[in-house]
Amino acid sequence: MDKFINLAMSETDELICCFCGESLSFKQSIQISFWKTTEPTEMQGIFSHPECFDKTLHICVPRILIDENEDV
């Protein structure tokens, strides 16, 4: 198995939610990116249902999600 995956995904790709383990489409997912502060060039992205993300993230953590289709 390759260590790295292709990050060029299409809207039709099926993913796995990192919180509930169920499938979801790329188009309807939230991507969560993280990296070690000591190795900023090593980054990983995982995906989640918006509902799972909101349910799992502690209430005291601010959410700064912006809907590009929403008028500001």
Per-residue pLDDT reduced to its tens digit, 8-56: 566 667 899 999 999 999 988 999 998 888 888 888 899 999 999 999 9
Q: Which residues contact 17 (CB under 8 A, 6 or more apart)?
A: 23, 24, 29, 47, 48, 49, 52
What is the pLDDT at residue 24?
94
Alpha carbons 49 and 25: distance in angstroms, whole number: 9
Alpha carbons 53 and 47: distance in angstroms, whole number: 9
What's the one-letter identity of residue 44?
Answer: Q
**Contact in structure between 33 and 48 (CB atoms under 8 Å):** no
